[in-house]
Structure 1
């Protein structure tokens, strides 16, 4: 019946049995037979046909929206079934590396056979707990990752900006050196202080730069931040000043539980490595 409904909708759109048949790769007699079967099944005449024209009957016009809904539902059903049949892997990642996570998802979706990727934004603590519970297959974590996890595909994000509140004494500087931070409160999203920087560290929510920036704007402290993130932020209550702190960086790695290795996980590892090499 679904095929007959598809034929009905196509003839209604084209108002031509021959053109509709060509669209669906059918012969014109086969198209006519499909419409006849549908008319018999419904007990309703759907088209008025003459040698020169094809027109929808009143019943055909009334049934056409329902046919369109049925075909749309069938298409959605087939798409969802295909998605469910496709192997899927769950990846947790911090917001800072969202662009990398998206590239990895596209790579896996484009491979043969395709692998679906469910992405979950999560800081280090939440992601680690999710790995322990098996809720995600892998996570991008700041290093060193907990020793119970296997890691690969390590990469670095340079930290070369300092977020300061509007009107802060450091705001007019063209460049800020580490010594300029003496006496400052340095906000730290994560579990470790900034290596090599003077000042007093204050830890904030795990990997949450957005929460840390709110604290900056409130005058609580200043925040070393990657330019990668700074250039995406538009706020009028703080400023980003270049920070010359040498090799200051945040290091990440892909981590997973050693007892949950699957072919899809290994494909994810390869996709992350490929994405890092080709960015």
Structure 2
């Protein structure tokens, strides 16, 4: 019955048995026979046929939306079955490196055989806990990662801007240097003080830079921040000042549990390496 419904919907779309047959790789007589079988099974006449044209009957018009729903449901079933049958990696990552995570997904989807990736945006603490609990296969973590995990594929994110409140004394500066930060409170997302910078560090929970900007706007402190985030954020209450702090950076690594190594995980490691080395 499904094949007959597909034939009916295609003829209804083209209003041509020959065109519909060609699209489905069938002969015109076979297409006509399929529609006739459906008409007999339903007890309705679906098309008015003449030598010059094909038209839907009133019954055909009424049944067409249902035929399309059946076809869509079958397609969705097939797609979901294929997805479930495909090996899947669950990857936790900080939103800061979301662009890299997207590249990893595309690379694994395009390999043969394809590997699916479920992305889980999470701060360092939540990602490490999910990894320890086996809820994710791997995580991109700021280093040093917890000692129980295996790490590889380290990479650096340069921190070259400073987020300050709109009315702050540094807001109008063309550039800030480390010496300008003496006496300031520096927000430290993820609980890691900024090495080599003067001022007092205030731990800002998980490594969520977007949330830390709310603290900046409220006057709770200043936030060293990577340029790749500066490009994506627009706020009237915060100013981003270029920061010359002598190579300040955050180092990340791919981490996983040594007890849960699979071929798919090794493919993920390779995909991360490839995504970092080729843009």
Shorter-chain TM-score: which interval?
over 0.9
- Distance across 2 between alignment mates of 1:210 and 1:156: 19
Give the distance between the partners of 1:247 and 1:99, measured in 2 at CA: 22
| Counterpart Cα distance in 2 of 1:33 and 1:215 | 71
Counterpart Cα distance in 1 of 2:18 and 2:211: 63
Q: Which runs of 4+ in 1 moved over 3 A?
A: none
Long gaps (5+) in structure 1 = none
Shift of 1:47: 1.4
DSSP 3-state at the match of 1:190: coil
RMSD over equivalenced CA pairs, Å: 0.9
The aligned residue for residue 252 of structure 1 is: 252
Q: How does 1:37-116 map to 2 (within 5 A)?
A: 37-116=37-116
The answer to whether the 8 Å contact 2:47/2:57 transfers is: yes
Q: Residue 22 of structure 2 corresponds to which residue in structure 1? A: 22
1:8 corresponds to which residue?
8
Counterpart CA distance in 2 for 1:247 and 1:62 is 69
Q: Are 2:235 and 1:235 equivalent residues in the alignment?
A: yes
Look up the SS of the partner of 1:243 in the other structure: strand
TM-score normalised per structure 2: 0.98
Maintained 8 Å contact 2:92/2:138: yes
Separation in 1 of the partners of 2:232 and 2:13?
A: 46
Post-superposition offset of 1:191: 2.4
What residue in structure 2 maps to residue 145 of structure 1?
A: 145
Match runs of 1:124-135 below 5 Å: 124-135=124-135
Q: Name the residue aligned to 1:275.
A: 275
Q: 1:44-80: CA deviations, max 9, x gaps?
A: 1111222222221221111111111111111111111
Contact 1:96 1:229 in 2 (8 A): yes
Measured after TM superposition, the shift of residue 172 of structure 1 is 2.4
Instruction: Return the TM-score normalized by structure 1.
Output: 0.98
Gapped regions of structure 2 (runs ≥ 5) = none
Mean Cα deviation higher: 261-270 or 46-55? 46-55
Deviation, 1:127, is: 0.3
State the alpha-carbon separation in 2 of the partners of residues 177 and 56 from structure 1: 75
Aligned residue runs from structure 1 range 118-197, under 5 A: 118-197=118-197
May I ask how many residue pairs the two structures share in their alignment? 279
| 1:257 Cα deviation from its structure 2 partner | 0.7
After TM superposition, list the pairs within 5 Å mapping 1:206-221 onto structure 2.
206-221=206-221
